[in-house]
Structure 1
Amino acid sequence: MTAVTGLPPTMADRKDDVTPMLSQYVELCEQHPDALVLFQVGDFYEAFCEAAEEVARVCEVTLTQREDSTGEYPMAGIPIDNAASYLERLVEADYRVALADQVEDAEEASGLVDRAVTRVITPGTVVEDELLAAGSTTYVASVVERDAANGERDGYGIAAVDASTGECFVTTVPTRGDVREELDRIQPNELLVAGDAPTVAPDGDWMESAVDAELFEPTVARDRLAEYVADPDRRLDNDAEQRACGAVLAYAEYTQGDDGPLEYVSRIRRHDQRDQLRLDAAALRSLELFDNRGPGSGETVFDVLDETASALGRRCLDRWLRRPLVDRAAIEDRLDAVDALVDDGVVRSDLSDLLAEAYDLERLAGRVSRERANARDLRALHATLSIVPELKERIADIPALSDHHARLDELRDVATLIDEAISPEPPMELTEGGVIKQSFDDELDALRTTEQEGREWVADLEATERERTGIDSLSVGHNQVHGYYIEVTNPNLDQVPDDYTRRQTLKNAERFYTPELKEREDEIFGAAERADSLEYELFCEVRETVAAETDRIQALATTIAELDALCSFSIAATEGDYVRPELRAASDDAHISIHGGRHPVVETTQAEFVPNDTDLAGGDVAIITGPNMSGKSTYMRQVALICLLAQTGSFVPAEAATLPVLDRIFTRVGASDDIAGGQSTFMREMSELTEILHDATDRSLVLLDEVGRGTSTADGLAIAQATTEFIHDELDATTLFATHYHGLTDLADEREGVHNLHFAATREGDDVTFLHRVAPGASSASYGIEVARMAGVPTPVVDRARDVVATMTGDASDSSVADNATDAADSHPTSDNDTATDPAASAAAADDALADALAEQTLDPETVAAVAAELQALDIATMTPLEALNTLDSLRSQLDEE
C-alpha cells in the first residue's frame, strides 16, 4: 500500500510555527500516518504539500500553490459534491484515504473550525454506494497462525467482514496451502498483516495493510468480540479464529469512524471447509466460474446462470457458486425449490418481476445502523417491504418454498412507521425540510402552518401596500442578507408612509420594512428554522427505531436473496433446457453418469454444440486422446461443471445425470509462467500436480490436461504414467486425463479401472473434420501436421514435416499412418539409438526437421525477428485453440508478405 505523509518533515518538525489551519492538518496526518488525509475547506477536500502532489497526479487535478506566513507550499483539492470519482481513483491506486470533515458549523465557530477524521476509505472497507458495484462484495480479511497446546503450529484462523453489508465469517484451515485456497475463494480486497509480520499468502490480488500487532493480541481480540457475540469461546472454535475476527472487526470500526461496535454486524458465521465442495484457485480459474480468459463471448459460468433480479440475489448466487454444498439433504432442498419454479412459469415470472423491485436491504441496513441513511434510503426500505406480502402470496402454495415463506418477515411495524413518517418523495438533504410527512407530528404541523400562513401574508402584502400607498411600482421581495423588504423607486419616495423604516439603499430605489412585516418575518424564519430542526430530530428518531430492527431486516434480506438465486437457477434451467440431476446415496461410490452432457458456456457460443455422454465409475481413470481442437478440454470441464452445478442446487445442462456428492474438484488444466514467483510453466504444473496427489480422495474428481508437456518427451511420458498409476492405485479418485502421450493408453490393458476414450475426426485428403464426439478406445491419429496446416504454417514447413514423419515411420504416403506408427512406437520403445521407435528421439528428430524447414525459407531477417518476438511474448498456455489459430494466421500473414 502506498503511504503519503501530509507535510514534508521540515514543515512537520516546525508545526507549531505554521498557521493554525495547517497545524490542524498536520496533527490529523500524524494521527493517521498510513493514510492520505483530505481536509475539508468549505466545499472542497484539500490536500497540502506532498499529499497534494499525489492527489494532483492520481486524480488529474490542478496542483496550485498556497501562500501564508510560512511561505508557499503545494495544494490540490477535489469538490466534495463530486468526490466519489476522485476517491475511487485514490483507492484503486492503493491509498487509504482519511476524510477530515468540518464537525462544527463555520458560522458558529469562534476561530478555527473544528475538523476530525470521520471516515477512512480503504479498498476492503468501502461502503459508499458510488464506489461499490451493485451486487458485489468487498471484504477485508485477516489470517492468524494457530499455536497448538504443545507450542507447535496447528493451522490458521481466517476471518473476513464486508463493511457495507455487515456480513462476517470465520473459519480454520490446516495448512498454508489451504489459506491460499480460502483467500482465493473469498477474494478479499484487503488483507491485514500484523506490523512487520510476513504475509502467509504473498502475491495475491488484494492489498496488504500493516496494522498494529496489538489488534491480534488474544485479550484485545476477545474483548472486541465480546461486544458482538455473547460467548466468543463458544461461538468461535479456537484462539486463532478469535484473534483473526477481532482484528478485522477492530479495523472495520476504525475505518467507519466508530468508537464502538458496528451494530449491523450482528451475525458472525463459522464455516468449515469440510461442509462445502472445495475449489482452489486453479479450479476457479480453469473452470472459468467467474473469469473468462478466452477471446470468445467473454461469458463465465456465473454470467450464464445469473438471471437474478436484485443485488441481494446476485451476491447470494456468487456465494453459492464459490461454496457448493456437500450435504445431500441441503442440495435436494434447493433442487426441490428449483424444480417447483421450473414447473410453474407464472410464479417464476411473477417472482422475478417482484424481486426486481427489491433494493439492497443489506447495504440499506448498514447505512441505517451507521446513522448514514437519508430519507430516500428509508423510502427504499419501505418499497422493498411493500413487496413482501406479494412474495408470500406467490409462494404460499409451493411446499418446497415453505421455509422461505415462513421466513418472509413483513416487518409491518417498520413499514408502517416509515410510511406514516417519511414523505413519499423526500429531498436528499435532511436539514432543509420536506422530509417528514404532514400529520405525523402535531408540533411540526403547527410550525409549518405558521410558516405557510406567514408566506401567504407576505405574498398578499404587495397588493395591499400598493392600494394603501398609491405607489403602483411598489414591490415586495426577499434576499438572504436583508430578509423581506418593500422596494420603492426613487421618484415615488415622497409617497412612502411614516411607518416604513429604511432597510437598504440602492442606486435607483430604497428598501423598507414595516413593524408588521418584521414581525411576520420573525415568525416565518423562526417557524421554518424550528421546523427544519424538529424534522431532523424526528427523522433521527425514526431512523433509530428502524435501526433497532437491523437483525430482522438482515434476516429478510437473506431470504429474499435466496429466493432470487433459486429463481435465477430456474430461469437458467428453463431457457437452457437443463435437467434435474439425481444424487447418489452416500454409500455409493463416486460414479458419474451423464447422458447428453453439455458445457454451459460453450454451448451458448456455438450454433450446434455436440453433447456427450459420461460413464465413470468411482475411482475410474479415463485416458482421453485425440487431436487438438477436437473437444477434449471442453469435455472434461463440462463434466466437472455439471457435478459442481448439481452441488450448488442447480439443474444441469444434460439430458440426464446421476451424480455423486464430491468433496473436491481438482484441475490441472493449462498453466503459464509465474515470472514474479520465479516459476516456469513446468514448475507451476508440477506444484499443482503435487497438491492433487497429496489431497485427492475417493470422493474427488480430478481433471488432468497434458501433464508432463513442459519437459522432454521421455520425462513427460514417465511423469504422466506414474501419475496415472498413483491416482488409480493409491488415491482411487475419479479422473479424466487428456493427453497426447499415446503410450498411456496401454494402461487400460494393465489396470481394471483405467479405460480409454477418444475424440474422433474424419479426413478427406488434407482436410480434417473434428466430430467433437467422445467414443471408447484410443485415438487412431493425432493430426498434428494437419492442425499446423490449418493454423497457417507455411506449406514448405508442413511438407517438410510430412517427409520427416514419413522417414521415421517408413511410409510417406499417409501422415495418419505415420501417426499410427508413432503411436505404436510410443507404446513399445526399443533403444536410445532407434529413432524410428523411440518417442523421445522421434520428437527430437521432428523438432529438428521443422527447424530446418523453417531455416530453408528465404525471409527478411527483420521480419523473422519481429515474428519471433511476438511468438516469445505469447502466453500460449492460457490461449484457446481459436485464439491460437487467429494469432498464427496473423503471424503467417506477416511472413507471406515477404
Structure 2
Amino acid sequence: MNADAPSTAVYGAPEEMLAVREDLTPMLSQYADCCESHDDALVLFQVGDFYEAFCGAAETVARTCEVTLTKREDSTGTWPMAGIPIDNAAGYIERLLDAGYRVALAEQVEDTSEASGLVDRAVTQLITPGTVVDEELLEAGRATYLGAVARDGDTYGLAVVDVSTGECLVTGADRALALEELERLAPAELVVGPDCDLPILSFDPMVTPFDASAFDLDSARETLSSYTTQPDAIVESEAELSAAGALLAYAEYAHGEEKLEYVSRLTRFDPREFLQLDATALRSLELFESRSVRAGSTLLDVLDETACALGRRRLEAWLRRPLVEREDIERRLDAVAELTDDALLRDDLNQHLSAVYDLERLVTRISRERANARDLRSLKATLDRVPELTDALADAESDLLRSVRADLDELEDVRELVGDAIVGDPPQEITEGGVIADGFDSELDSVRSTATDGKEWVSNLEAHEQERTGIDSLEVGYNQVHGYYIEVTNPNLDRVPEEYVRRQTLKNSERFYTPELKEREDEILRASDRADALEYDLFCEVRRDVAAESERIQGVAGALAVLDVLRTLADVAVANDYARPEFGSENIDIDAGRHPVVERAQSEFVPNPASLPRGSIALITGPNMSGKSTYMRQVALVVVLAQVGSFVPARSARLPVIDRIFTRIGASDDIAGGQSTFMREMSELTEILHNATEDSLVLLDEVGRGTSTTDGLAIARAATEFLHDDVGATTLFATHYHDLTEIAGEYEGVFNLHFTATQTEGEVTFLHSVADGPSSSSYGVEVAQLAGVPHSVVDRARTLVSDGATENDSRTDERETATRETLDAYIDGLENGHEESEDSTTADQQVVADELLAADLASTTPLEALNLLSELQNRLK
C-alpha cells in the first residue's frame, strides 16, 4: 500500500506561482490559497462553466483525463492550464480517482450577478475513493467504505463508514483477526493511525495520511461523543475509540462539515459473531469476484435477484458476514420458507420494491442539503409504497417478516409534508422556480397572484392597444435586456399615441413603453423575484424538516432492504430447486448437493452427496477436471448459504453451525511480495493449522506441490495427521499423492473418496461422480491429451508409463536417498579433514570443496542435490 498518489508534485501550491506570489492576479492568488489549504489534493478551480487546474496539476489533468493542455497568460507569465466542463465533471473526476489522486473542488460561493469584483471561491468538497457521495461516482448496489485502523499494544481497532448512506461499523480484535475483517470489508480508502504496521492487502485501498492528533484518545472521544451520547457502548477498547474518532474526523474534514448528521447508525460488532471468511476463502469460493471472464460467475451473481439498490447492498453484507447463532439463522430461514410457499406474495412484494428508490443515499443528500426537489419527490414515491407493503405483510406468520412489517414506519407526516409542498414533476434546479405547490404557503400564493395578474394584464394589452390605436400589426413583447415593450413597424409610426415613450430603435420598427406598462413590469418583476426567494426558502425549510426525520427514514430503508433480500432468497430457491437446510446435526450431511454457480453455467450438472462426520478428513483423489475442486467448493458454499439464511442447492442438507471456513486452493506466486507459489501455499497452510478449530471447515487442494515428491508427500501427511490429532476440523483434502490415501487405514475418521472416470481405447470420460475409496489412476496422460498436448508427447508419455512407472518411482526414491547419502558422506569426509592427493589440491578443486562445505543439506531437495553434484562433477572433469 502506498500513501502517495502517483505523483505528489501536483499537490500543494505550484512552486512557480509561489515564487511570484505578490504579483499574481487576484484569481490565481485565490487558486494558490486553495492549493495551500488543501495540499493533500489536486485542486479543481471553478472558472465560469469549467473546473480549471494550473501548472503541474494542469499537466496531470490533461494527461489523465485526455483533455487539451492550454495556457493562461497574464502579467506574471504563462501558466499551463487544463479544464473539464462542470456539467460533465463526474466522468473526469472518476478518472482522477482511479489514477490514485484526491480531488478538491474549489467552487464559486458567491452569486456572480451580485459580485462587485473577484468572485469568492472556496473548497467545498474533498473527493476521495472513500468519501464519494455523488451518485454518478457510486455503484448503486455496492457499499463504499472509508476505513480507519488504530493500534493499542496488541489490540487493533477498525472502523468503517459509508458516507453515502450513513452506515458506520466499529470492531476490535488482535492483529490477525482485525486484518481478516479489514480484508472482508475492503474499504476503498484507509486512514491509518501511528504504529499500525499493515501488510500488503489483497485489495488496493487508497491510504490517506491524516493528522495524527485525530487518533489521540481525548480528541477521538470528543468527536465520537458528538455522534452518540454513549460512546462506551460503541467502543470497547482504546484502539476502537481511536479508530472511530479519527474516521469520523476525517469524514468531516473531507466534507467540510462539523458533523455528518445522517451518520446515526453506529454499530459495534465482534468478528466472531459471524462465520469468518478470510480474503483467501472469499477469493477461492468466488463469492464476489471470479477468475472466470464469464458473466454471472460469482455466488453473488447467482443470488442477486434484488429489486432495489437497498436490497443489493444488504445481500452483499449478509454474504460477507454469515451468521453463527442458530436462532438468528432459523429466523431468516422461517421467513424465506414462508415466502417460497406464497408466489403471489413474492410477486406483490417484487412489484412494490421495484418502485423503491435508494432511501439511504437520498436521506444522505437531504441531510447534506444537496437534494433537489426531484429527490424529495423520489423520497415520497418510495414512502408511498410502505403502506402497500405493510398491507401485503398483514398475514405474515414468521417472526422476521412480522418484525420487518413493524419496522415499516409509514411516515405519514413526511409523506404529507412533501406531497403538500413539492409539485408533482418539479424542475431539476431549485432556482428555476415552480418547485413549491400552490396552496402550501399563503404569502407565496399572494405574490404569485400579483405576478400572474400583471402578466395577464400584459397579455391583454396587445389587443387593447391594437383596437385603441388602429394599428393591427402592433405587438407586445418582452426580453431580459429591455423588459416589456410595445413594438410598432415603421409605416405605422405616425399613428403612435403621444404617451408612448421610445425604448429601442430597430431596422424596421420602433419599440415603446407606457408609464402604466412600466409600472406593471416593475410589479411583475418584484413579485417574480420575491416568489423565487420565497420558494427557495420554503424548499430549504421543507428539506430541513425532512432531514430531521433521517433516522426514521433510515429505519424504513433497513426494513425494505431486509424484505428485498428475503424475497430474493425465496425467488432463487424456487427458481433453482433449493432445499431448506436443517441445523442441529454434528455432521455435514448433504444429499445430492450442487455447486450453485457451476450448475447455472452448464447444461447438465451431476449432483453429489457429502457425508462428513464431525472432525473427519475426506481424502479425495481422481484426475484433474473430474470435479474434485468443484465438489469441495460446493460443500463450502452450501454451508455459507445455509448460514446466510438461504435455502441451499441440494435435495436435503443437515448441518452443524460452522465458525470458520479455510481454503487452500489454487495458490499462485506473489513476485512483488517475494513469495513463490510453494511459499504462498505453505503460508496458507500455516494460517489454517494455527487458527482452525473443531468447529471449522477446511478445504485443502494439493498441499505439497512445488517441491520434491518425497518432501511434498511428507508435508501433506504431516498436515493431515496434525488436523486429525490436534485440530479436529472437518476437512476435505483433494490430492494426487496416492500414497497419502494409505493413511485412511491408520486413523479413525480419515477416509477416501474419489471421482470416477472410464477409459476406452485411450479415451477417458469423466463421470463427475464421487464414490467411496481411492482412485485407481490420475489419468494424467489422458488429461494432457484432452488439453491439446501434441500427439507425439502424449504417445511418448504413455509409453513411459506402460514401461513401468512403479519401478521408475521406486528408482527415483532410491536415487534421491542415495544422492543424499553420497553427499552427506562426502561432506562428512571433508569436514573430518581427509587428506586429498596432490592432484586434488588445485585451486579449482578447492573451490568445489568449499562449495560442498557451504551446501545447506537440511534445506536441499534431492533434485537440487543432483543438480549440484552434476555441476561440480563437470567442473572437476
Q: TM-score, normalised by structure 1?
A: 0.88
Aligned to 1:304: 302
Aligned partner letter, 2:248: L
Are 2:183 and 2:201, in contact at CA under 8 Å, matched by a contact in 1? no
1:418-817 matches, cutoff 5 A = 418-584=418-584, 589=586, 591-809=587-805
What secondary structure, in the 3-state scheme, does the structure 1 residue paired with 2:657 have? coil
Cα distance in 1 for residues equivalent to 2:344 and 2:154: 54
Q: Please, which moves more after superposition, 560-569 or 211-220?
A: 211-220
Aligned partner letter, 2:717: Q
Shift of 1:251: 1.1
1:22-171 matches, cutoff 5 A = 22-146=28-152, 153-171=153-171
1:312-348 alpha-carbon deviations (Å, 9 max, x no partner): 0000000000000001000000000000000001001
Cα distance in 2 for residues equivalent to 1:413 and 1:452: 31
Aligned partner letter, 1:84: A
Cα distance in 1 for residues equivalent to 2:294 and 2:489: 76
Structure 2 residue corresponding to 1:375, chosen from 373, 376, 381: 373
Shift of 1:193: 2.7
- CA gap of 1:507–1:833, structure 2 versus 1, over 3 A, is closer
Shift of 1:453: 1.7
Cα distance in 1 for residues equivalent to 2:251 and 2:813: 67
Shift of 1:716: 0.8
Shift of 1:267: 1.6
What secondary structure, in the 3-state scheme, does the structure 2 residue paired with 1:125 have? coil
Aligned partner letter, 2:764: V
Cα distance in 2 for residues equivalent to 1:279 and 1:13: 55
The percent of aligned pairs where both chains have the same amino acid is 63
1:52-79 alpha-carbon deviations (Å, 9 max, x no partner): 1111111111111111111211111111
1:102-251 matches, cutoff 5 A = 102-146=108-152, 153-175=153-175, 177-194=176-193, 199=198, 201-202=200-201, 204-251=203-250
Shift of 1:98: 0.7
Are 1:143 and 1:200, in contact at CA under 8 Å, matched by a contact in 2? no
Aligned to 1:365: 363
1:434-455 alpha-carbon deviations (Å, 9 max, x no partner): 1111111111111111111211
Cα distance in 1 for residues equivalent to 2:11 and 2:634: 52
Shift of 1:6: 5.7
Cα distance in 1 for residues equivalent to 2:476 and 2:383: 48
Are 1:279 and 1:665, in contact at CA under 8 Å, matched by a contact in 2? yes
Shift of 1:15: 1.4
1:96-126 alpha-carbon deviations (Å, 9 max, x no partner): 1111111111121122111111111101110
1:169-208 alpha-carbon deviations (Å, 9 max, x no partner): 0101212x32331122111110113479754555641111
Cα distance in 2 for residues equivalent to 1:761 and 1:85: 53
Aligned to 1:878: none
- CA gap of 1:198–1:483, structure 2 versus 1, over 3 A, is farther
Are 2:151 and 2:195, in contact at CA under 8 Å, matched by a contact in 1? no
Aligned partner letter, 2:118: L
Cα distance in 1 for residues equivalent to 2:379 and 2:421: 13
Cα distance in 2 for residues equivalent to 1:616 and 1:722: 21
Q: Please, which moves more after superposition, 655-664 or 669-678?
A: 669-678
Cα distance in 1 for residues equivalent to 2:357 and 2:14: 46
Are 2:162 and 2:168, in contact at CA under 8 Å, matched by a contact in 1? yes
Cα distance in 2 for residues equivalent to 1:388 and 1:602: 38
How many residue pairs were aligned?
810
Alignment partner of 1:252 is 2:239: no
1:807-850 alpha-carbon deviations (Å, 9 max, x no partner): 234xxxxxxxx7xx88xx68x99744799xxxxxxxxxxxxxxx
Are 1:166 and 1:265, in contact at CA under 8 Å, matched by a contact in 2? yes
Aligned partner letter, 1:133: E
Q: Please, which moves more after superposition, 492-501 or 525-534?
A: 492-501
Q: Please, which moves more after superposition, 504-513 or 603-612?
A: 504-513
1:13-41 alpha-carbon deviations (Å, 9 max, x no partner): 33121101100110010000011111111
Cα distance in 1 for residues equivalent to 2:365 and 2:20: 41
Cα distance in 2 for residues equivalent to 1:659 and 1:578: 15
Aligned to 1:277: 275
Are 1:6 and 1:49, in contact at CA under 8 Å, matched by a contact in 2? no
Cα distance in 1 for residues equivalent to 2:537 and 2:753: 74
Aligned partner letter, 1:368: I
Shift of 1:374: 0.7
Are 2:150 and 2:192, in contact at CA under 8 Å, matched by a contact in 1? no
Cα distance in 1 for residues equivalent to 2:618 and 2:780: 22
1:767-810 alpha-carbon deviations (Å, 9 max, x no partner): 1111101010000111111111121111221121122222234x
Aligned to 2:829: none
- CA gap of 1:735–1:202, structure 2 versus 1, over 3 A, is closer
Aligned to 1:319: 317
Are 1:285 and 1:291, in contact at CA under 8 Å, matched by a contact in 2? yes
Are 2:52 and 2:81, in contact at CA under 8 Å, matched by a contact in 1? yes
What secondary structure, in the 3-state scheme, does the structure 1 residue paired with 2:803 have? helix
Are 1:179 and 1:201, in contact at CA under 8 Å, matched by a contact in 2? no
Shift of 1:364: 0.7
Aligned partner letter, 1:726: F
Are 1:221 and 1:246, in contact at CA under 8 Å, matched by a contact in 2? yes
Alignment partner of 1:19 is 2:19: no
Cα distance in 2 for residues equivalent to 1:76 and 1:651: 55
Are 1:6 and 1:50, in contact at CA under 8 Å, matched by a contact in 2? no
What secondary structure, in the 3-state scheme, does the structure 1 residue paired with 2:770 have? strand
What secondary structure, in the 3-state scheme, does the structure 2 residue paired with 1:47 have? strand
1:608-661 alpha-carbon deviations (Å, 9 max, x no partner): 100000110110000000001100000000000001100000000000000010
Cα distance in 1 for residues equivalent to 2:295 and 2:800: 39
Q: Please, which moves more after superposition, 639-648 or 499-508?
A: 499-508
Cα distance in 1 for residues equivalent to 2:278 and 2:813: 41
Structure 1: gaps spanning 5 or more residues: 147-152, 810-817, 836-898
1:246-274 alpha-carbon deviations (Å, 9 max, x no partner): 1111111111121x110100121011011
Q: Please, which moves more after superposition, 617-626 or 100-109?
A: 100-109
Aligned partner letter, 1:377: D
What secondary structure, in the 3-state scheme, does the structure 2 residue paired with 1:653 have? coil
- CA gap of 1:504–1:133, structure 2 versus 1, over 3 A, is same
What secondary structure, in the 3-state scheme, does the structure 1 residue paired with 2:781 have? helix
Aligned partner letter, 2:218: T
Aligned partner letter, 1:592: I
Are 1:277 and 1:324, in contact at CA under 8 Å, matched by a contact in 2? yes
Cα distance in 1 for residues equivalent to 2:537 and 2:737: 77
Aligned partner letter, 2:666: G
What secondary structure, in the 3-state scheme, does the structure 1 residue paired with 2:497 have? coil
Are 1:193 and 1:208, in contact at CA under 8 Å, matched by a contact in 2? yes
Shift of 1:494: 2.1
What secondary structure, in the 3-state scheme, does the structure 1 residue paired with 2:91 have? helix
Shift of 1:489: 2.1
What secondary structure, in the 3-state scheme, does the structure 2 residue paired with 1:761 have? strand
What secondary structure, in the 3-state scheme, does the structure 2 residue paired with 1:172 have? strand
Are 1:195 and 1:212, in contact at CA under 8 Å, matched by a contact in 2? no
Cα distance in 1 for residues equivalent to 2:572 and 2:803: 54
